[in-house]
Amino acid sequence: MILTSAITEKLRLIEALIRTPTYTAVGYTHGRIVYVSTVEGATDLWSLDLKTNEKIKLSEGGIHSLAPVRSKSPLVVYTYDVSKGRELQQVFVNHVEGGKEFRIEKMGPRRVLGMGFDGETIALGAATEKAMELWRLTPSGEAEKLYETHALLFVTDYNDGRIVGQGIFKGDPRAFEIFMYDIKKAEFKVYTPKEGSVNKNPKVRGDLVLFTTTAFGDEKLLIYNIAKDELEEPKFTHDDYKKYKFTEYVDYDWTDDGRIWFIGKREGRTKVFIDGKEVPMPEGFSSSLVVVENKAYITHSTLTSPPRVYEVDLRTSERRVILGADLPPEVASRLGKRYFIKYRSPDGLEIPTYVVESQAAPKPGPTIVYVHGGPWAEVADYWSVLLASLVVSGYHVVAPNFRGSTGYGEEFRRLDIGDPGGGDLQDVVAAAKWAKEQGLASKVAIMGYSYGGFMTFLATVKAPDVWDAGVAGAGITDWEEMYKLSDAFFRQFMDILFDNKRELWKDRSAINFVENLKVPICIVHPQNDTRTPLRPVLRYVMKLLELGKTFELHVVPDVGHAIRRIDDVLKIVMPAVIFLDRYLK
């Protein structure tokens, strides 16, 4: 392939964007902030001495998941994928001041479904081919399986002798219940304040469990008192939070001295509160908070600026960036305005959407409808390296939060349960129509990764006249074959998503409609993906070949669904950009 000077320059700018380091604060212990950064080419753990600014790297090659950091312990607990992307993980421990990593080998590699650390021992959820499990491990290497279930289960916290988390234990795919496992009693209990409600992300402190619930209407932050078997309202000293109405809570917990903090979200932007008092932050998205005495360390980003860590003085509200990197000027200058809009889907439902315009494209100009993964996720006003790469490449981006997205209330999120690839597909098609009607788009392509890849495959065969091209990353072409290739966790995920309506699998699988494809499609897929396996996609490709369709296939070797290294991000983004340059000019 011969690349023109224009596309070569475009690729240079994209690489500069992707290699700009990101920083996320995740905890504090023994005088050091623990953070995650891509500064050396992978998503690794670091620690920063708050007095000397000394930085120490704690992991190597990209971690997969992380347990909460406890200030009373100098240890940091995390996992690596030990299976070349197949997401079979083992737990590792390191000292916050660095040293030799220790692997806990007595629990064999598993898909990890959340971890907790009480400062002395580790708790985690895990999935095998057959079941979901609850484990307890020690930093010295011991491992004990505590519980096994076929229900969907995630560990969210572990403290004061209790493991807590969320799952679907009562068979209702539209509900989430809380579980509590008492270590001393070896007792597993399920709790919900109301049948059919959604209860999420419990945090535990003594007999108190802090969680969100929809039992009484919109999502609300409440406390369950285990000893009294009663619900309580959180108590705050300040009432700044009362000025806002949030649709969701990004995160929350207790500080070491017992104050409750939370990050509230509405329309993809956040506000931060400690003990009810607002911590002033720029417009955008604050994704994590670490409180150290009179200082807060907050991770913040927008759709046009990568994550950085602010130190905020809680007495004066003064803030400064302590960890961060600016985009190169020639990259930043191509990122245009970002804004939030709503348009209507054919059935009248309002679809909340973020738009980012490219300074390198005319209006109307080439536009990408970017479909997020999940589907229970969203495009908010936070950094997405894939979305930003498209804008820098010279494409306006319209990113719909189709029905089923998070961030807009449980009623909205539940709308695609039992109907994936139905109403949500119409929402995505309507985004292309909106972009043209508003004078933003000339040509329109669809692009997405994971569930967004599934939607790309399906949209290009079910609405083939809408698009000028498609890019499907780590997508799904055949739900029936995917089910056969999945472990216990993803089989449960599919049953929940489809509300056990397996008769829909055929109609929502692009492989059954491949003859309808009219536009070029670029397929980028990780070789070792166990969430969206490669094998059904290869069968789809063989049908494309037999029918003489125009396509590209790029298989990324020795990589799984979750991308941890910058070089692997480049292997996904670069082929897509070259393809779009050819077909969306």
Does 533 share its domain with 425?
yes
pLDDT at 6: 85
| 472: amino acid identity, one letter | A
Domain end: 325, 346, 372, which one?
325
- Domain membership of residue 106 (yes or no) is no
d(CA 358, CA 367) in angstroms, rounded, equals 9
Domain end: 325, 345, 371, which one?
325
Does 299 share its domain with 334?
no
d(CA 473, CA 454) in angstroms, rounded, equals 8
* Strands across the sheet containing 89-95: 65-66, 75-81, 89-95, 102-104
Q: Which of 81, 197, 561, 568 is an active site residue?
A: 561
Does 493 share its domain with 426?
yes
Q: Which of 44, 157, 529, 568 is an active site residue?
A: 529
Domain end: 300, 325, 350, which one?
325
Q: How far is CA 151 from CA 39, 81, 130, 132, 190, in A?
A: 38, 24, 11, 7, 12
Using CA of residue 86, residue 89, residue 94, residue 100, what is the dihedral sign?
A: negative
d(CA 513, CA 270) in angstroms, rounded, equals 41
CATH of the domain at 561: 3.40.50.1820
Does 349 share its domain with 452?
yes
Q: Is the bond into 364 cis (omega within 30 degrees of 0)?
A: yes
Position of tokens 């930085």?
A: 55
The token duo for 323 is 């960890």
- Domain membership of residue 357 (yes or no) is yes
- Domain membership of residue 186 (yes or no) is no
Does 280 share its domain with 405?
no
Give the residue ranges of DSSP H helices in 53-211.
none
- Domain membership of residue 576 (yes or no) is yes
d(CA 351, CA 401) in angstroms, rounded, equals 6
pLDDT at 2: 60
Does 353 share its domain with 243?
no
- Report helix, strand or coil for 454: helix
pLDDT at 1: 54
pLDDT at 3: 67
- Domain membership of residue 534 (yes or no) is yes
Cα–Cα nearest to 375, from 411, 343, 414, 347: 414
φ, ψ for residue 59 (rounded to 5)?
A: -130, 170
d(CA 554, CA 576) in angstroms, rounded, equals 9
Cα–Cα nearest to 399, from 381, 376, 414: 381
The token duo for 407 is 């961030």
Determine the structural domain holding residue 474 and report its residue range: 329-583
Does 301 share its domain with 340?
no
Q: β-pairing, 220-225 with 230-232?
A: antiparallel
Mark whether 529 is an active-site residue: yes
Does 470 share its domain with 548?
yes
- Domain membership of residue 81 (yes or no) is no
pTM higher than 0.85 for the full model? yes
Q: Which residues contact 496 (CB under 8 A, 6 or more apart)?
A: 152, 168, 173, 417
Does 448 share its domain with 434?
yes
Does 423 share its domain with 571?
yes
Domains held by the chain: number: 2
Does 280 share its domain with 344?
no
φ, ψ for residue 439 (rounded to 5)?
A: 75, 20
Cα–Cα nearest to 92, from 126, 34, 127, 139: 139
- Domain membership of residue 212 (yes or no) is no
| Strand (E) or helix (H) holding 423 | helix 423-437
Does 536 share its domain with 573?
yes
Per-residue pLDDT for the chain (585 aa), expressed as one digit of tens each? 566 788 899 999 999 999 999 999 999 999 999 999 999 999 999 999 999 999 999 999 999 999 999 999 999 999 999 999 999 999 999 999 998 999 999 999 999 999 999 999 999 999 998 999 999 999 999 999 999 999 999 999 999 999 999 999 999 999 999 999 999 999 999 999 999 999 999 999 999 999 999 999 999 999 999 999 999 999 999 999 999 999 999 999 999 999 999 999 999 999 999 999 999 999 999 999 999 999 999 999 999 999 999 999 999 999 999 999 999 999 999 999 999 999 999 999 999 999 999 999 999 999 999 999 999 999 999 999 999 999 999 999 999 999 999 999 999 999 999 999 999 999 999 999 999 999 999 999 999 999 999 999 999 999 999 999 999 999 999 999 999 999 888 999 999 999 999 999 999 999 999 999 999 999 999 999 999 999 999 999 999 999 999 999 999 999 999 999 999 999 999 999 999 999 997
- Domain membership of residue 79 (yes or no) is no
Q: Which of 450, 468, 486, 525 is an active site residue?
A: 450
